[in-house]
């Protein structure tokens, strides 16, 4: 409010509420920047999807039985956004593979999956599941 009081130069002393009242009477309003929300998955896209094999199954208790993956956006200090793809083992909740990139090509997902394969031994019957979404 001190900055507002200086800008108003109203010459009157008072509390921050008085300054706020003067600002309101004179039609001065704070400008709030709109928060940027990146466009994400368009799940009802009508394209053919693999069936969700996790729906009717109990939670896995053994390691490396089910991996789940998703892509999210990370805000950068310069105002840009980076894409993060991560694979997580459901039983241990441990991230087994990840990749960050400036854009979101298929290479982002394949590199994250390769890292997961390199970090964990493959077990027969491993199920890899994603959110089945599509970006616009």
Domain count, the chain: 2
Going by the DSSP 8-state scheme, the letter that residue 87 receives in this structure is E
Across 29-46, b (16+ Cβ under 10 Å) vs e yields: eeeeeeeeeeeeeeeeee
Q: Do 69 and 112 fall into the same domain?
A: yes
0.95 exceeded by pTM: no
Q: What tens digit of pLDDT does each residue of 17-58 get? A: 777 777 778 777 766 666 766 665 555 656 677 777 788 788
CATH number for the domain spanning 120: value is 3.30.420.10
Q: Does the structure show a pLDDT above 90 at 117?
A: yes
Q: Does the structure show a pLDDT above 90 at 77?
A: no
Q: What tens digit of pLDDT does each residue of 62-71 get? A: 888 999 999 9
Give me the domain span that covers residue 40: 34-44+54-136
């Amino acid at each position: 409010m001190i900055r507002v009081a200086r800008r108003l130069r109203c010459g009157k002393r008072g509390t921050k509420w008085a300054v706020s009242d003067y600002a309101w009477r004179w039609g001065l309003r704070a400008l709030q920047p709109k928060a940027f929300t990146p466009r994400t998955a368009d799940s009802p896209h009508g394209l053919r999807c693999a069936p969700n094999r996790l729906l009717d199954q109990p939670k896995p208790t053994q390691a490396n039985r089910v991996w789940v993956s998703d892509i999210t956006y990370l805000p950068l200090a310069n105002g840009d956004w980076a894409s993060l793809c991560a694979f997580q083992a459901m039983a241990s909740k441990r991230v087994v593979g990840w990749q960050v990139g400036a854009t979101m090509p298929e290479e982002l997902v394949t590199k994250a999956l390769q890292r997961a394969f390199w970090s964990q031994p493959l077990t027969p019957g491993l199920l890899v599941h994603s959110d089945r979404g599509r970006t616009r």
